[in-house]
Amino acid sequence: MGKAYTPEFRKEALKLMGEIGKGETSKKLDVTEWTLNEWSKKAEESKKEKEMSEAQSNREKMSEMAKKIRELESENARIKMENEFLEEAARFFAVSRQK
- The answer as to whether 2 is a domain residue is no
- The answer as to whether 83 is a domain residue is no
* Predicted local distance difference test score (pLDDT) of residue 76: 98
- Tally of CA atoms within 13 A in the half-sphere of 83 that contains its CB: 6
Q: 35-89: per-residue pLDDT in tens?
A: 999 999 999 999 999 999 999 999 999 999 999 999 999 999 999 999 999 999 9
What are the helix (H) ranges across 1-99?
A: 7-20, 22-29, 33-98
- The answer as to whether 91 is a domain residue is no
- The answer as to whether 88 is a domain residue is no
Q: How many domains does the chain have?
A: 1
pTM given for the model: 0.58
